[in-house]
Amino acid sequence: MKFERNGLFGFLALAALVPFVVHDQYVLHIAIMVLFYAVLATSLNLVVGYVGEFSLGHTAFLGTGAYAAAILSTRYGWPMWLTIPVAGLLAAAVGGLIGAITLRLQGPFFVIVTLSFAEVLRLVADNWIGLTNGPMGIAGVPQPGLLANAGNLASKQFYYALAWGLLAIGLYLSYRFVHSNAGRAAVAIRENRYVAQSIGVRPLTYSMLALVLGAFLSGMAGGFYAHYISFVGPEMFRFAFMVSMIIMVLIGGKGTLVGPLIGALLVTFLEEYLREAKELRLSIFGLAVIAIVLFLPQGLMGFAGRSRERRHPAAPAVPLAPAAAPAAGAVPTGTGRTA
């Protein structure tokens, strides 16, 4: 627990120094995307890593948040300070609705139904032209008024600070959940659903808490993305975002809070480095996932944890001293006999 807390503080502290050291707009953009993906990976990890259900429909919450922020800001003139939290709340409501149906299922049934919900929302965004503008998407999502006279570098620094704040909120909420009774109940469900039920843990209740919290964080990330990119389209619901989130969680280590951060950092930079490879990069990512699953099934954080245990093994348990034999002629107590 202490190692994980120190890792989170260390990551946030180093990330806070980036805008003071880096003044290249392209590098700042990559750093912003790292923080954005870190929020997404953290939100997915709550369901995959702690509840143990492999969701493929997390883009439903991302797209809901992005469209909510875009519609509220372009049509109703809401400021970004309101659209992002409202986007998270709407995504949480969608998460509660989807979870009430899907969390009653297990295994491949859960995977297929969650993916189906994301696909249904993509079709709605693609065909409800009056609300979402169909395949054309919603362009010109407004940015805050304080950036009207700011330069490109100042705008990047502002969005970096905003992304850092969203990640800090996401990590705080996730940490409080994981180390609460609800989080421990979720882990019990992950380890053995039926044993957890036998001791009074309600799987649907605690799985729902994890899913709704993950949907809230993903929806806020979607609202941030809408304002930062200034465009939202049906591709927000596509499987490409889902693949990136899954790879980040698996590479970093599911069931840990630091793992998704490391995965987001590695995968985002690798995607940019392999951008010229085009279609080949998907094959490279596929090979990377296969290698991780085969050789590092617990991800990089699991490997680091095992290495730390080998360097600092736990002290062996001290055996209890055997009870002293009674003296000759002594009468055992508690038998009701008299000498």
**Residues 38-59 pLDDT 10s:** 999 999 999 999 988 888 889 9
321 has a pLDDT exceeding 70:
no
- Dist. CA 173–CA 215, nearest whole Å: 12
Instruction: Round to whole Å and give the CA distance between 23 and 276.
Output: 24
Predicted local distance difference test score (pLDDT) of residue 322: 54
Quote the pLDDT of residue 338.
43
Looking at residue 339, its pLDDT comes to 38
Indicate whether 336 pLDDT > 50: no
What pLDDT is attached to residue 243?
84
Q: Given this model, what pLDDT does residue 3 score?
A: 75
- Dist. CA 305–CA 252, nearest whole Å: 12
Weakest mean pLDDT among 66-75, 147-156, 158-167, 177-186: 147-156
The dihedral region occupied by 299, where left means phi > 0, alpha psi between -120 and 50, and beta the remainder, is left
Token digits of residue 310: 């080998």
Question: Residue 139: beta bridge partners?
Answer: 231
Q: Mean pLDDT in the chain?
A: 85
Residue 164's pLDDT is 96
Q: Which residue from 130, 126, 136 is spatially nearest to 63, judged by alpha carbons? A: 126
1-13 pLDDT, tens digit each? 677 888 899 999 9
d(Cα 58, Cα 49) in Å, to the nearest integer? 14
Residue that wins the pLDDT comparison between 140 and 308? 140
Quote the pLDDT of residue 337.
Answer: 44
HSE-CB for 252 with a 13 A CA cutoff: 30
Report pLDDT digits (tens) over 234-259.
Answer: 988 888 788 888 889 988 888 899 99
Predicted confidence (pLDDT) per residue in 23-32, tens digit? 889 999 999 9
Partner residues linked to 58 by β-bridges: none
The per-residue DSSP string of 147-212 comes to: GTT--HHHHHHHHHHHHHHHHHHHHHHHHHHHTSHHHHHHHHHHH-HHHHHHTT--HHHHHHHHHH
Most confident of 2-6, 119-123, 314-318: 119-123
Where are the domains positioned within the chain? 21-238
The answer to whether 211 and 37 are in contact (CB under 8 A) is no
Mean pLDDT of 320-327: 52
